[in-house]
Amino acid sequence: MVHQNLSLVLAAALHQIPPGTKKALAGSNWAKSEAALQQISHLLEEAILAQFVVSERPEMQARLQGDAQST
């Protein structure tokens, strides 16, 4: 169950990556590529942390879902 939830959370985080970030990864400008990777890493880190919080504290799930719906 946790594995499935984490997969869904990670998939949702990847969908939040702005299109310009994806283009920066494909480009030859190392600074832009590095910044894009850092942005992706941050999104994934937040998603994993949120999933951990939800699995450890189920009462946080409703709050996180509400936050996700507002963005």
DSSP line for 28-55: S-HHHHHHHHHHHHHHHHHHHHHHHHHH
Q: Name, in order, each residue with C-beta under 8 angstroms of 51's C-beta and a sequence gap of 6 or more.
A: 2, 5, 6, 9
Residue 40, pLDDT above cutoff 60: yes
The pLDDT score that the predictor gives to residue 15 is 80
Q: Model confidence at 53, in pLDDT bands (50, 70, 90)?
A: confident
Residue 25, pLDDT above cutoff 80: no
Q: Model confidence at 34, in pLDDT bands (50, 70, 90)?
A: confident
Domain range list for the chain: 2-70
